[in-house]
Structure 1
């Protein structure tokens, strides 16, 4: 059972990207399972990797950081999160308080990233409030498209609906 008590959480691991990355996919804050594995979307019921595999017409990468890092870089998408640290209860985005944003400018400047996508409503909200002003102050004007959460908490969206919503990243 997940704790409902707020805990101060540090992100704990860095972004996945390289100079050829073309898009940046941002979540809010890694879940406890992802923090434990030190990689993105590692909860076994999170549908992020099945969605991305369907988009790129490939098998779902093995549930290892190495396999998933290779998949992301091969398909030229970077992964990170909006938040560097916050107070949060378990994996509950709605509980997030005292969010401190990651500085996205260095990886955007050092890559070919031309678009940001956020996964879930809270990531989009926090990006608009915390990251967009920082990027604007750094002279970076980059479009952001919000996408639905792939979390098991977003049970109303089935895998085919998520795949269809995520097709925007291929444009």
Structure 2
């Protein structure tokens, strides 16, 4: 059985001065850490969902993934700066130190924060909400562990981020 390991967030947040949506995951999986970027497990559907929501090609390289986020005015980070975890199991997470979300929120015109899964929502509500004073909207996890959701169903649920953009067209949103 896998032992607990102390993991510190290996990635910087991805954002720029135009980021209006913040998507928070929990912590990069073992595969994501090996691959060097967010949602790097080949079975994680995050990048396919983003491409599906925005009608764009699925990005392959890290630079293509960043370009998609910037074009869609999305910031990505994780709620956990460090914790103890067994492998990639969110259910094993303990001894959490939360990220400082204000690094992004003080710099960007973020209008809405979304959680990629229940763990991200739970950790944010426990550690981040009081510091930011902002609500988080949960979305179903794109993790391969979330077998209850097909890719099509995930794209449908996640389309709320594009709907938010449509409702804010007068606020400098650029969409296809």
Q: Deviations over 1:100-142 (max 9, x none)?
A: 0110112111111111000111110000001111213xxxxx3
The Cα shift of 1:38 comes to 2.4
Q: 5+ residue gaps in structure 1?
A: 137-141
Select 1:75's aligned residue among 69, 72, 75. Answer: 72
1:72-118 alpha-carbon deviations (Å, 9 max, x no partner)? 11110000000000001111100000110110112111111111000
Q: Deviations over 1:2-49 (max 9, x none)?
A: x53211001111100000000000000000111122211010000001
Task: Supply the RMSD in Å over aligned alpha carbons.
Answer: 1.0
Measure, in 2, the Cα distance between the counterparts of 1:58 and 1:67. Answer: 11
**Are 1:130 and 2:122 counterparts?**
no
> Which of 100, 105, 113 does residue 103 from structure 1 map onto?
100
Q: Are 2:115 and 1:118 equivalent residues in the alignment?
A: yes
Partner residue in 1 for 2:57: 59
Q: Number of matched residues?
A: 163
The corresponding residue for 1:10 is 8
TM-score (norm 1): 0.92
Instruction: Return structure 1 stretches of 4+ with deviation > 2 angstroms.
Output: none
Contact 1:114-1:143 at 8 Å conserved across structures: no
Task: Tell me the residue number matched to 1:90.
Answer: 87
- Unaligned segments of structure 2, at least 5 residues: 165-176
Give, in whole Å, the separation in 2 of the partners of 1:165 and 1:4: 33
Q: Which residue number corresponds to residue 136 of structure 2?
A: 144
Q: What residue is the counterpart of 1:139 in the other structure?
A: none
Provide the rounded CA distance (Å) in 1 between the counterparts of 2:81 and 2:62.
19
- Alpha-carbon distance between aligned partners in 2 of 1:38 and 1:24, rounded to the nearest angstrom: 20
What TM-score does the superposition give when structure 2 sets the normalisation length? 0.90
Counterparts of 2:130 and 2:95, CA distance in 1 = 17
Query: Structure 2 CA distance, aligned partners of 1:26 and 1:129?
Result: 14
CA distance in 1, matches of 2:83, 2:70: 28
